[in-house]
Structures are given as structure tokens and as C-alpha cells.
Amino acid sequence: MKPTRQRLRLGELLFGRGGRHVTPDMLYREVNEGGEAISRGTVYNTLHELTRAGLVRQIGVRGGMTFFDTNPSTHHHYFIDGEDRLLDLDGPGLDIAAMPELPAGYEVARVDAIVHLRRKRS
Ligand SMILES: [Zn+2]
């Protein structure tokens, strides 16, 4: 990737404060709040290039909502319905004891789980 000024600014926002989960829209709003004029197209393209380079991981949550995770390793997530927030599921993670029989000719490449949460009703 060519390090243009716009890409460097996006990289700073993405990687400058630890692990993040952002949607293209969140990143677009953030970068433009900072006074920088960067188009939605540039934000999308940069995120997809970073994904292809293995620096971020794309996570589809539901109905076309896509997050980009600055931690590209395999890990599970919580998604908070109604707040549109994606959080890392830390700790021992999920115990998937019984894997169903797989289609013939296939093996498990990885298991990415998203546990959907909602606030308890009091
Ligand atoms: Zn994550």
C-alpha cells in the first residue's frame, strides 16, 4: 500500500489506541470530525486493502453491517443488539464440545462466534 497522507491518518485512527472494532461509517465520521476531508470511498477502499493485507479482519454482523477489527487473529465476539457495539469475548471463550458432522470433503478452517447480547429487563 502506498502511504498517502489520507491512509496514514486512517491508520493512526485505527491502530493508534489499541484494539478497535469500527464500521466504515464510524471511521468516516471520526476522520472528518478531525477536520480532514476524506471521502467515504477512500475509507472503504483503505479498509478493504488493510483486510487483504491481513492487518485488519472483516466481521459481518447482520444485515449488511460490517465491522473491521484491528486484531486480525481468530477470536470470538459479543454484539450488543440495539447499541450496535462489537466487543471481544475474552477469557477461555466458547466451549464447542460437539461439532456437527461436516459435509463430505470439508474441514473446519476456524470458528468465529458472535454472541448477541441485550440489556436485561429490570
Ligand atoms: Zn475483536
Distances (CA, A) of 20 to 11, 74, 86: 12, 14, 9
CA of 68 to the centre of ligand 1 (A): 8
Per-residue pLDDT tens over the stretch 19-49 = 899 999 999 999 998 777 899 999 999 999 9
CA of 19 to the centre of ligand 1 (A): 7
Q: How far apart are CA 85 and CA 77, in angstroms?
A: 10
Structure pTM?
A: 0.84
CA of 104 to the centre of ligand 1 (A): 31
Q: Are 76 and 112 in contact (CB under 8 A)?
A: yes
Domains and CATH numbers, the chain: 5-117 (1.10.10.10)
